[in-house]
Structure 1
Amino acid sequence: MSYRVVQWATGSVGRAALECVIDHPDLELVGCWVHSPGKKGRDVGELIGREPLGVTATDSIDEILALAADAVVYAPLLPRPDEVAALLRSGKNVVTPVGWFYPADTQAEPMRQACLEGGTTLHGTGIDPGGVTEVFPLMLSAMTAAVTYVRGEEFSDIRTYSAPDVVRHIMRFGATPAEAAEGPMTKLLDGGFRQSVRMILDTLGFTTTPEIRTVHEIAVATAPIDSPIGTIEPGRVAGQRFHWEAVAAGETVVRIGVNWLMGQQDLDPPWTLGEAGERFEIEIDGDPGTFVTIRGWQPEPGDPADAKNPGIAATAAHCVNSIPYVCAAELGIRTSVDLPMVTGRAHPRFLNTGQ
């Protein structure tokens, strides 16, 4: 069975998602919404450097709502609940990396109602949140009895993140510590990562009432640092750590977060990524314990500046690979705990085309 798919937005994740949809044997691209007027009216294949696909990009929400499609990969920079609700009411399932991973009732109720009206399903997934920070630790926890602690963490050199406007204006690298502390990043991350923590707590059965706290730490440059967003001057933000910790009965039982550094030189405090370098880590304490290091989702040293970021590609792939499972799911909000195990598909060259 082939599912008809719309891509919403063509930023870095959106472009990667388009490639995944095109290469997925069970999916057919039928529409694409774009924000930029310069992309409107162009063939989507041209937008991603491929042969023409016969699908024209549009900036009309009404055109997308009227389109006959099974699913939308909703990947804007910032989510708009009214857009998501409209897509759901129009009869389209929605998969997204920007929210609704494990929403609280107040956030979920409007979307549940939209799903009921449209007979549709909403699913949030990705890499973190949506992968390392809850889904994969929960999968690995099947190998452990009496779990006492779960950690999922990212360690990245942010110089390889190919979204300079986000790095400077939203993450606030290069700003003063006060500007970064008051910036939007903590609030933006807080909603998603707290959902990750709650998914772990609820699924593993931590029945005590935990305190979930957010920790934001900043490192500044001690000398000028060359970066993709320009020179970061001494005293300006060059490293940030965001962590979310659940404390139950006086013990930290869940810790998830990100460590983002603008290189590993000339920082105060003198943070580094450690001898292990860029990576994702998953740790579970119990009987027995588990420790997993994941590599391959960050650019390798020497990769060209315009190379596809593997972490962005992984985020997009997790969304796109979820589409058949979401389309087959019961209507409503379905989290990763509700769905069967999501897997990828073989490269098209290994598929029988009937020739």
Structure 2
Amino acid sequence: MPWKVIQWATGSVGRAAIECIQRHPDLELVGCWVHSQDKNGRDVGDLIGTAPIGVRATSSVEDILATDADAVVYAPLLPVPNEVEALLRSGKNVITPVGWFYPDDDDAQSLRAACAEAQVTLHGTGIDPGGVTEIFPLMMTAMSSAVTFVRGEEFSDIRSYSAPDVIRHIMLFGATPEEAVNGPMLSLLDDGFRQSVHMILETLGINKDDAEIRGSHGYAVATAPIDSPIGQIAPGLVAAQRFHWEASVGGDVVVRIGVNWLMGEDNLDPPWSFGAAGQRFEMEVKGDPDSYVVIHGWHADSIEAGLARNDGIVATAAHLVNSIPYVCAAPAGIQTAVDLPMVAGRAHPKFLKRH
């Protein structure tokens, strides 16, 4: 029997996750929570732009908690721990891209208790934090001895991210430098990315308490008007941002992870660019021998194509959905990427036998 799955929230990740669930042979969508009343009661297929699929969305948390399901893909814009605890206590495993990637032993005690009580599992993963900033670099270290440095970074044109309110009001593109520096993004990202750093350090055998971990934020401003999906960005306003986290041990940087988000490469001060490699996800391990990997394919060929279907968002959703069978089969508790078996996708339905 397939694992029964609920999708929580239908933003860009949630919509992509529903598509992935529909194509996964071991999963069945049985419910969907939505925030807005105009989505309440509508067929989920209508919400994602497909034919009806026979599952209606609800804005009632009580209905979701009462639904018979094995797992919830919890993908709101920001996490609400009380919501996650309620889902866990209702007997549902939770897979999410918004937290709990590698929490400390003394963190999230109420969530750990909920997992133990209901014998379910909580798992945080995604793309970054997730695959690029922890899992794939750690896999690469298996091919090296005496590792001295691990890096994972995203280089993306943020114009292809179809979330204008987030870009303008939370990420603060188009704001003044002072507003961006004092904005919420570094603190919003900090907890998840520090957990990525902790996972890498401790998996390599380095006590995280022996490392100095520092987050940093840089920006570039427009030197001429820049057209963007959030409107024109005037000269002097923020048009590119970088967020990075470094862990140093004894003065040596051993881990560096982060994101580089640009409103294109033109008319920026400082004159940042993606370089010859273009948009990409990049991972590096220094040891004996070194490894260096560049991933293309998770960015669209054009801004317009990215706004219609952002491949990085789809990759994030696929990672969440492909994790579901492994999480449902895992021991109760908060299980991280280093606790689970290797997560793999499934073949296209056309290749799978029908019984």
Q: How does 1:153-302 map onto structure 2 within 5 Å?
A: 153-207=153-207, 209-301=210-302
Q: Is the 8 A contact 2:103 2:195 kept in 1?
A: yes
Q: How far does the alpha carbon of each residue in 1:299-351 deviate from its partner, in whole angstroms, 9 at most, with x for none?
A: 11365364210000000000000000000000000000000000000011111
Structure 2 residue runs without a partner (length 5+)? none
- 3-state SS of 1:134 partner: helix
Q: 1:321: which partner in 2?
A: 322
- 3-state SS of 1:206 partner: coil
Find out whether 1:14 has 2:27 as its counterpart: no
Q: 2:119: which partner in 1?
A: 119
Q: Is the 8 A contact 2:33 2:57 kept in 1?
A: yes
Deviation at 1:183, TM superposition (A): 1.1
- 3-state SS of 2:133 partner: coil
Q: Is the 8 A contact 1:31 1:55 kept in 2?
A: yes
Q: How far does the alpha carbon of each residue in 1:100-147 deviate from its partner, in whole angstroms, 9 at most, with x for none?
A: 000123433221011012111000010000110000001111000000
Question: Which one is further off, 58-67 or 203-212?
Answer: 203-212
What is the rounded CA distance, in whole Å, between the counterparts of 1:206 and 1:162 in structure 2? Answer: 39
- 3-state SS of 2:210 partner: coil
Q: 1:101: which partner in 2?
A: 101
One-letter identity of the residue aligned with 1:227: S
What is the rounded CA distance, in whole Å, between the counterparts of 1:87 and 1:243 in structure 2? Answer: 32
One-letter identity of the residue aligned with 1:270: P
What is the rounded CA distance, in whole Å, between the counterparts of 1:285 and 1:305 in structure 2? Answer: 33
Structure 1 residue runs without a partner (length 5+)? none
Deviation at 1:171, TM superposition (A): 0.4
Deviation at 1:284, TM superposition (A): 0.3
- 3-state SS of 1:201 partner: helix
What is the rounded CA distance, in whole Å, between the counterparts of 1:144 and 1:97 in structure 2? Answer: 29
One-letter identity of the residue aligned with 2:228: S
Q: Is the 8 A contact 1:144 1:289 kept in 2?
A: yes
- 3-state SS of 2:51 partner: coil
Deviation at 1:50, TM superposition (A): 1.6
What is the rounded CA distance, in whole Å, between the counterparts of 1:166 and 1:302 in structure 2? Answer: 17
Q: State the number of aligned residues.
A: 354
Q: What CA RMSD, in Å, does the superposition of the two structures yield over aligned residues?
A: 1.0
One-letter identity of the residue aligned with 1:125: T
- 3-state SS of 1:133 partner: helix
Q: Is the 8 A contact 1:221 1:238 kept in 2?
A: yes
Shift of the 302–226 alpha-carbon distance from structure 1 to 2, 3 Å rule, reads closer
What is the rounded CA distance, in whole Å, between the counterparts of 1:30 and 1:4 in structure 2? Answer: 6
Q: Is the 8 A contact 1:134 1:199 kept in 2?
A: yes
- 3-state SS of 1:143 partner: coil
What is the rounded CA distance, in whole Å, between the counterparts of 1:137 and 1:153 in structure 2? Answer: 10
Scaled by the length of structure 2, the TM-score of the pair is: 0.98
What is the rounded CA distance, in whole Å, between the counterparts of 1:50 and 1:236 in structure 2? Answer: 39
Q: 2:129: which partner in 1?
A: 129
What is the rounded CA distance, in whole Å, between the counterparts of 2:230 and 2:46 in structure 1? Answer: 27
One-letter identity of the residue aligned with 2:218: E
What is the rounded CA distance, in whole Å, between the counterparts of 1:223 and 1:302 in structure 2? Answer: 20
Deviation at 1:298, TM superposition (A): 1.1
Q: 1:308: which partner in 2?
A: 309
Q: 2:79: which partner in 1?
A: 79
Q: How far does the alpha carbon of each residue in 1:273-305 deviate from its partner, in whole angstroms, 9 at most, with x for none?
A: 111100010000000000000011111136536
One-letter identity of the residue aligned with 1:331: A
Shift of the 306–240 alpha-carbon distance from structure 1 to 2, 3 Å rule, reads closer
Q: 1:140: which partner in 2?
A: 140
Q: Is the 8 A contact 2:161 2:306 kept in 1?
A: no
Q: Is the 8 A contact 2:219 2:241 kept in 1?
A: yes
Find out whether 1:52 has 2:44 as its counterpart: no
Q: Is the 8 A contact 2:88 2:120 kept in 1?
A: yes
What is the rounded CA distance, in whole Å, between the counterparts of 1:215 and 1:112 in structure 2? Answer: 31
Shift of the 317–169 alpha-carbon distance from structure 1 to 2, 3 Å rule, reads same
